Structure 1
């Protein structure tokens, strides 16, 4: 599957999303930075350029109540079956527990 989402576009979308949540919840940049334990310059840089460490991003997401949906979005989807025939026709091998590419 080819992804049309590039890293810079993803950074912009995440930046815009968290900034919009901050404003919706009524946080100032300083208030959010203090509450999340992230420096104010780090938050400002993130909101302007989308650049931030993963740890700081997760801290901000937690304060803005966005961490659970982010983590849930990464979980593998469970297939839903409507009949026993669907189950029987969908015999898949077990997923690999180790990678094969270096």
Structure 2
């Protein structure tokens, strides 16, 4: 862990919460406020799950993948049809065509 002697507790609290604390505030109150901020940052309920390839590796836009025909493609888009079927659009710069495949039929290069 890197030592940061110029930052104190009050600096840390303000950096995490965006608000100042005082000596009059109970430490438990400060700790609860910091915990609330951290829990909010960890809330993933409004996030979508990224698609996985045939081997279970996450597919991101820009990834290089291969389809069932062995074509080397670059991911340019992702369409969520339902939780089980994620369509991935890939660009083949050899023939300039965009293909769509289910994520589970692709492999990373």
Q: Same fold (TM over 0.5)?
A: no
**Structure with greater strand percent:** 2
User: How high is the TM-score relative to the length of structure 1?
Assistant: 0.27
Rg (Cα) greater in structure: 2
**Structure with greater helix percent:** 1
Q: Which has the higher contact order (CA 8 A, sep 6+)?
A: 1
User: How high is the TM-score relative to the length of structure 2?
Assistant: 0.26
